[in-house]
Amino acid sequence: MVDGLVDYVRGGGDVLPIILAEYKGSFYLVEGKLRLGACRKAGVKKMLAIIIPVKSLEELRDLIYRHRNK
């Protein structure tokens, strides 16, 4: 599955942005693990990301839980 995405990226295909949560200056991957891995494997140095600031660990956990269980 990842190899097909790597080929797609190398071929110039558009990739949806990953979603990151920012908490106290650190970034946590919320959604896009396969996309991120495929882009790294394809040699992509930059990719689009949506950054969602969170104010507490509870809010971070809730955000990750909602995205993984939709």
Distances in whole angstroms, Cα of residue 20 to Cα of each of 7, 8, 33, 57: 24, 23, 11, 14
Tally of domains in the chain: 1
Instruction: Give the CATH number for residue 19.
Output: 3.90.1530.30
Looking at the predicted structure, is the pLDDT value of residue 46 above 80? yes
Looking at the predicted structure, is the pLDDT value of residue 1 above 70? no
In whole angstroms, what is the distance from residue 70 CA to residue 17 CA?
17
In whole angstroms, what is the distance from residue 38 CA to residue 9 CA?
8
Looking at the predicted structure, is the pLDDT value of residue 2 above 90? no
pLDDT digits (tens, 9 = 90+) for 10-32: 888 888 999 999 999 999 999 99
Average pLDDT over residues 27-53: 93
Q: Which domain holds residue 25?
A: 2-68
Average pLDDT over residues 52-62: 95
